[in-house]
Structure 1
Amino acid sequence: MSEASLLKTQVVTLRVPNELKSRLEQQAKSQGVSLNNLANYLLTTQLSQLETLSGIEQRLRGRNLNDLKQKIAFLLNKVPHNPDLPEWDRL
């Protein structure tokens, strides 16, 4: 994607409940950013997560779940045991 195409914007009107708009405005104010910047950030991060999950689901489609579990167990068994890990970091 070219830099010029990244700079182009479009106006989109979204209908959101009043409470959601108030919450967004409060967060934008507390973050020191505009409502527009916060909305763009939140939409971008959520869309990226959805795209990532979709990609993972697509790659896993048709795979055998038991085979995947065995591969994960094999990899986890290669991780050295470290008794000095804090409790919150243990599996």
Structure 2
Amino acid sequence: MAEPNVLTIRVPLDLKQRIARTAEEQGVSINQLAMYMFTKELSDLETGKLISDVWKQYSKKEIMTGFDEVMSKVKDKKVPDWDRLG
């Protein structure tokens, strides 16, 4: 594991209380929860950017054509009652 560094952030009291309450509910320290949340959000942002960069290489028509090709391979199957909407 990398050597820990200190990061001090200022947050509104309400946010700090919410973080503390959530950490307690999860049975972890505020620090552990904050590291998890920072890591998860950064990963989500990085993944979103990566996906966006890949999609930019294709036109909408190319994307829809590819989608239609994949969907044409799906055989018509009866949808079970438990999986129906509404």
TM over 0.5: yes
Confirm or deny that 1:38 pairs with 2:33.
yes
Aligned Cα RMSD in Å? 1.5
Shift of 1:8: 1.0
Q: Which 4+ residue blocks in structure 1 deviate beyond 4 angstroms? A: none
Distance (whole Å) between structure 1 residues aligned to residue 8 and residue 76 of structure 2 = 53
Aligned equivalent of 1:60: 55
Shift of 1:80: 2.9
Aligned equivalent of 1:87: 84
Unaligned runs of 5+ in 2: none
Could you state the TM-score of these two structures normalised by the residue count of structure 1? 0.80
Unaligned runs of 5+ in 1: 1-5
Aligned equivalent of 1:69: 64
Distance (whole Å) between structure 2 residues aligned to residue 84 and residue 59 of structure 1 = 33
Confirm or deny that 1:23 pairs with 2:18.
yes
Could you state the TM-score of these two structures normalised by the residue count of structure 2? 0.84
Q: 1:78 to 1:13 in 2, by over 3 A?
A: same
Aligned length: 83
Mean CA deviation greater in 63-72 or 22-31: 63-72
